[in-house]
Amino acid sequence: MMVNFNLGIPTHYRNLVSIYEGMDIEHKLEDELNVEVPEGERVIDEYWIVPGFCKVQIIENEDNARKRYNLIEPPVGVDELQLLNIIYNDMKRTLVLKEYSMDKEKKTEIIMEVLNELIEEYAIEMHPQLLLKTLYYLFRNFIGFGPIDGMLNDPYLEDVSCDGYDIPVYVFHVRHGSMPTNVRFSKDYLDNYVLLLCQKAGKYISYANPLVDATLPDGSRLQATYGSEITPRGSSFTIRKFRATPYTPVDLLETGTMNATMLAYFWLLVENKMNIMVVGETAAGKTTTLNALMMFIPPDSKVISIEDTREIHLIHDNWIAEVTRLSIEGQEITMYDLLRAALRQRPDYIIVGEVRGREALTLFQAMSTGHAAYATLHAGDINQLVYRLENEPLNVPRIMIQFLDAVVVQSVWARRGVRKRRAIEVNEIFGIDPVNKNLLVNPLFKWDPSIDAFTQTSESKKLDKIARIMGVDTYEVVEELARRAEFLEALKERGIRDFSEVIEHIQSYYTNPEKTLQEVRS
């Protein structure tokens, strides 16, 4: 079994790993992390989160193929645990007196400094292994997120959730889907842990206010409940992890969410300021796909994004990222307020994270007046999209929906226990039937689950519109679409997936398409 050491060491453990690698220790810590797998189970995946200190094993039951996520950390004996608890409590009292609102690397230095002071005060000697273990758990608990810190630093996880006390914490893994872990909480610990999570997010939760939606310091989304009044199984939390480096169009290609032709098609639409919505059920990856498509926005365009929680991540200099504000002591600022203000700033592109209320009408009014607008919305297909738009609380007249150029319907596909995201339909809207007043819809791309592939089901009507905008024949636009599809395939084949690199190549293509295409070909 190959173990991946190249996932990147979490910031608050870098000093620890450097110290460990520089020490000459007879018995390596990683030897203590070799856990025996029970009979009837096997390890199907394994990798380090913190080299030498924390690793993950994905275990599969050989009878029923059920999987389990095992987070493995340094074992601590009874005497070691007693000492660790004394150090932890003394350090907690000491750190309260110190300036502690600083970056993670500075915090690790403070913790090491205080630990040395405590060891001198106790007049004890700690053997190297115990010293390293102590530092690991102090960093994990004081700087990180305690028992689930390894999960939140696992780049393969999207969600971490706890449904109540004495129940396994569950995770959603991009390779292996949803599965239980070997971590669970007692009732009292879970109550205190939820308080801690909310405190880290700058929110207050209590029996009087038992429901919190918040954003953690790293941008991850937290939804938490407290006590058993509204969740009978006890306090609960769900953390939707923030991806520090967002998916690029090449990532969508690599993961099979879309093919190169579809991505090239959307590139042309975005460049020519055509309006797009990405719809789908919860956790279908709508915002992920929208964010990736927004990387096709020309470099110097003025962009304004509006969200309840920050998820959109662009690299454009001329980009204003706005978020709503709940009413606490000051004025509540809604998406509707932000969207109205945005229209006064003459943006080239407007991005709305998720349409839910009366801002929908303003968004479609923006489309009708020539602004390029992009958004996500919960809907299973284009018929559900139209129904939701026309009814409460969105109330968008059908005559305005025709200004929407394209709709991506995204879904989650489960096969052999692995969930994958696919753009199952791409539809163009090109007007209203004058007789029956129905929207005119052109189904352009469709996904075939039997072969996990996409087919183009009709000729695009939007390419004709783009040809008119560009002042060229349609066949030239079709040729350009093919070149861009080849360009994206070449990026994938060369393994260019880094966020900054992909953006650099796309922006270079805008400046000199022939030269940039030739470079990636070679």
pLDDT value at 100 more than 80: no
Which of the four pLDDT bands, split at 50, 70 and 90, describes residue 31? confident
Burial class (CB in 10 A: 0-12, 13-18, 19+), 49: buried
Query: Is residue 413 one of the residues assigned to a domain?
Result: yes
Query: Is residue 30 one of the residues assigned to a domain?
Result: no
pLDDT (0 to 100) of residue 27:
72
pLDDT value at 6 more than 50: no
Q: What DSSP string runs through 35-86?
A: PPPPTTEEEEEEEEEETTTEEEEEEEETTT--EEEEEE-----HHHHHHHHH
pLDDT (0 to 100) of residue 408:
98
pLDDT (0 to 100) of residue 3:
41
Q: Which amino acid is at 144?
A: G
pLDDT (0 to 100) of residue 518:
92
pTM score above 0.75: yes
Q: What DSSP string runs through 220-273?
A: -EEEEE-SSSSSTT--EEEEE---SS---HHHHHHHTSS-HHHHHHHHHHHHTT
Which of the four pLDDT bands, split at 50, 70 and 90, describes residue 2? very low
Category of 65 on φ-ψ map: left (φ > 0), alpha (ψ -120 to 50) or beta: left
Q: Which residue has the tokens 């990405």?
A: 278
Tabulate helix, strand, coil % of the chain (nearest 5).
40, 25, 40
Host H or E run for residue 449: none
Query: Is residue 495 one of the residues assigned to a domain?
Result: no
Instruction: Report the sign of the C-alpha dihedral through residues 158, 336, 290, 343, in that order.
Output: negative
pLDDT (0 to 100) of residue 183:
98
Query: Is residue 208 one of the residues assigned to a domain?
Result: no
Query: Is residue 325 one of the residues assigned to a domain?
Result: yes
Q: Indicate which CATH number applies to the domain containing 425.
A: 3.40.50.300
What is the C-alpha separation between 519 and 509, in angstroms, rounded? 10
Please check whether residue 396 is in contact with residue 364, taking contact to mean a CB–CB distance below 8 angstroms.
yes
Please check whether residue 214 is in contact with residue 308, taking contact to mean a CB–CB distance below 8 angstroms.
no
**Average pLDDT score over the chain:** 91
Domain range enclosing 412 = 249-464
Query: Is residue 456 one of the residues assigned to a domain?
Result: yes
**pLDDT tens-digit readout, 194-248:** 999 999 998 999 999 999 988 898 889 999 999 999 999 999 999 999 877 788 9
| Tally of domains in the chain | 1
Other CB atoms within 10 A of residue 37 CB: 12
pLDDT value at 15 more than 70: yes
pLDDT value at 114 more than 70: yes
Higher per-residue pLDDT: 326 or 2:
326
pLDDT (0 to 100) of residue 28:
78
Which of the four pLDDT bands, split at 50, 70 and 90, describes residue 97? low
Query: Is residue 332 one of the residues assigned to a domain?
Result: yes
**pLDDT tens-digit readout, 283-338:** 899 999 999 999 999 999 999 999 988 889 898 999 999 988 876 556 789 999 99
Q: For 391-418, what is the mean pLDDT?
A: 91
pLDDT value at 1 more than 50: no
Please check whether residue 150 is in contact with residue 50, taking contact to mean a CB–CB distance below 8 angstroms.
yes
pLDDT value at 64 more than 70: yes
Count of residues for the chain?
522
**pLDDT tens-digit readout, 122-170:** 988 888 889 999 999 999 999 999 999 999 999 999 999 999 999 999 9
Query: Is residue 135 one of the residues assigned to a domain?
Result: no
**pLDDT tens-digit readout, 245-262:** 788 999 999 999 999 999
Please check whether residue 303 is in contact with residue 347, taking contact to mean a CB–CB distance below 8 angstroms.
yes
